Every structure is written in C-alpha cells, then in structure tokens.
Amino acid sequence: MPVGAAIGLGVVTTVSSQRQQRKAFRAQERARKIDQKRQDFATGRERRKQVRAARVARAEILSASSAGGTSSTSKTASISGNIQSELGGNLSFLDSQQGFTSAIGKEMSSSARATQKAGEISAFGNLASKSLLIGEDAGMFGE
C-alpha cells in the first residue's frame, strides 16, 4: 500500500472514530438528562405523597380530638407538631436524595468527557505512530 494511502486511511479511521465517540458522548448526556428528569419527577411525586399523608394524619387527629372534646389539649398539639416534624424530615431526606442524584449525574458527565478526550488523544497518537512507521518503512527518513 502506498505511503499516502496508508496515512490517508489512518486519518479517515481516526476522524470516524472521533465522530462516533462524540455521538456516544452526546447520547450519554441525553440519557443523563432524561434520568435526571425522571428522578425529579419521582421526587416531586413522593413529596406530594408525603404532604398529603401528613395532612390526612393531622386531619384525622383533629377530627378525633374534636369529637372527643380534646381538640385544645397539649397532647393533640404535640401529636400535630410531631406529624409536621416527620413531614419536614421526610422532605429533607427527599431533597438530599435528589441532590445526590444530581451530583452523580454531573460526575458521570465529567467522566464521559474525560473518556472522550482520552480516546481522541489516543487516536491521534496511534495515527502519528502509524504514520511514522509507514514513513520509516518507505525510507522517508533515510539513514
């Protein structure tokens, strides 16, 4: 194979490889964003579920205490406060989980970018190495 053709083939394969790496990276980014939206949706749903459960529990306590004539006791107020406290803890937990998911996604994106760059550098290095070997075999660097 002529030297120019071998070098040209190396360039074509390197460029094609880089295009595929960029496509893969973009697909990974889209997948990460979709997964983040899915997590956000699930977290939002769970938050609403927690708020609804707390409201129902509080309404049940108030209804039962009102029916029993104990609606203004400290025990009823304490139970109601505990429900609110539990709700706050649950919502805080959900926020933390969402933050972790977001951080993981960002780190995965950084990793994908670094992998893409490493692949590009490797491809150029391989091309340069092959070009030098082909040139040497063709006697281009005379001795």
Residue 1 has pLDDT above 60, yes or no: no
Closest of 123, 105, 127 to residue 115, by C-alpha: 123
**pTM score of the predicted model:** 0.57
Closest of 124, 105, 101 to residue 113, by C-alpha: 105
Tell me the per-residue pLDDT of 87-102, one tens digit each, with 9 for 90 and over.
889 889 888 888 888 8
Residue 70 has pLDDT above 70, yes or no: no
Cβ count within 10 A of residue 54: 19
Q: What is the average per-residue pLDDT within 45-73?
A: 82
Residue 28 has pLDDT above 80, yes or no: yes
Q: How confident is the model at residue 131 (pLDDT cuts 50, 70, 90)?
A: confident
> Residue 103, exposed/middle/buried by CB under 10 A (0-12, 13-18, 19+)?
exposed
> Cα Rg for the chain, rounded, in angstroms?
31
> Contact at 8 Å (CB) between 43 and 102?
no
> Contact at 8 Å (CB) between 36 and 102?
yes
Q: Which residues in 14-29 are b (16+ Cβ under 10 Å) and which e? A: beebeeebeeebeebe
